[in-house]
Amino acid sequence: MGKSVRALVLKGEKNIPAGDIEICYGDVCDKDSLYRFFDNKENRELFVIHCAGIVSIASGYYQKIYDVNVTGTKNMVDLCLEYKVKKLVYTSSVHAIPEKPKGETIKEVYEFNPDEVVGLYAKTKSEATAYVLAAVKKGLCACVVHPSGIIGPFDKGRSHSTTLITDFYKSRLVAGIKGGYDFVDVRDVANGVISACEKGNAGECYILSNEYDTVKDILYMLHEVTGKKEIKTFLPLWFVKFTAQIAEFYYKILRQPPLYTAYSIYTLTANAKFSHEKATRELSYSTRNMKQTLKDTVEWLESKGII
């Protein structure tokens, strides 16, 4: 877009954005810390991309997830109204959209109720999305994007998808589970968000999905791009559900994102037939091949010495 960029960064964050970017330290949970981020003495047009959030497949309740995903979003929205920003693009999630029966295509909705979705993460995203759309009625120019399961290179943290790829590469993953989901390249999502800044209409929602892949498909593609041993054992769901709590506790001890929990098992067996037709039509949104995404991710992880 050729614009100057100001990034809100949490104090103590190790992965600082590189390039010609103004770094502004603050915390979405602390409204007073955000005023410098919104400072606009030059009276420039401000476009705010709010993507701060905690993605979680945890089964229990964690106050921090609510504080960041809901309270943090409310703080950002309120300040966008106060500072009369040109546009806010809020990164929600497909999890905020109520699930339809299997076989039916899930498209954009415009009313969000946490009671209609399953899991803490989904409920927080639903409540936050409702708050953003309510602010539109107060005069805020804002639109919402709903990514599906994000995967891809440049992840300096420890997302669930990166953990899966790393464990497969290092032969720590010896079995898979049945089920699947709609996985989308992080770069395609980023392009969709930028396009929403330019083309997204106020009060509109856009699903940024890709296509459904089974876990078996993902693992086989990883086998092809890495040459590592193919996983042929896939555990029955009754066994996975039985051991989910143990696995969640195990990864908590390791201080790593769990590969599966009771909630993630629910997700992998739920309807994930999302349509990105609207985003393709209105935002010129496009997606790339998942095998290429996995290849690029593996090469990036190798280049950083992570695997």
* CATH number of residue 44's parent domain: 3.40.50.720
**204 phi/psi in degrees, rounded to 5:** -100, 155
Q: Does some domain include residue 110?
A: yes
Dihedral Cα 5, 69, 151, 48, nearest 10 deg: -20
Q: Count how many domains the chain has.
A: 1
Q: Which residue segment(s) compose the domain that 257 sits in?
A: 5-300
- Tell me the pLDDT of the chain (307 aa) as tens digits: 568 999 999 998 888 887 889 999 999 999 999 999 999 988 889 999 999 998 877 767 889 999 999 999 999 999 999 999 999 999 999 999 999 999 999 999 999 999 999 999 999 999 999 999 999 999 999 999 999 999 999 998 778 889 889 999 999 888 888 889 999 999 999 999 999 999 999 999 999 999 999 999 999 999 999 999 999 998 877 777 766 666 666 666 666 666 667 777 788 889 999 999 999 999 999 999 999 999 999 999 999 998 8
Q: Does some domain include residue 237?
A: yes
- Comparing CA positions, the residue from 295, 156, 180 lying closest to residue 228 is 295
Q: Does some domain include residue 307?
A: no
Length of the chain: 307
Q: Does some domain include residue 265?
A: yes
- Token pair 């892949």 is at which residue? 213
pLDDT value of position 261:
72
pLDDT value of position 108:
98
Helix (H, G, I), strand (E, B) or coil at 179: coil
Total H helices, total E strands in the chain:
11, 11
Q: Does some domain include residue 102?
A: yes
DSSP string, 263-274: HHHHHHHS---B
Q: Does some domain include residue 306?
A: no
Helix (H, G, I), strand (E, B) or coil at 98: coil
Q: Are 251 and 258 in contact (CB under 8 A)?
A: yes
Helix (H, G, I), strand (E, B) or coil at 147: strand
pLDDT value of position 1:
53
Whole-structure pTM value: 0.92
pLDDT value of position 17:
80
**Residue 152 token pair:** 């891809």
Q: Does some domain include residue 305?
A: no
**Residue 75 token pair:** 């703080």
pLDDT value of position 19:
83
Helix (H, G, I), strand (E, B) or coil at 142: strand
Helix (H, G, I), strand (E, B) or coil at 265: helix
pLDDT value of position 244:
65
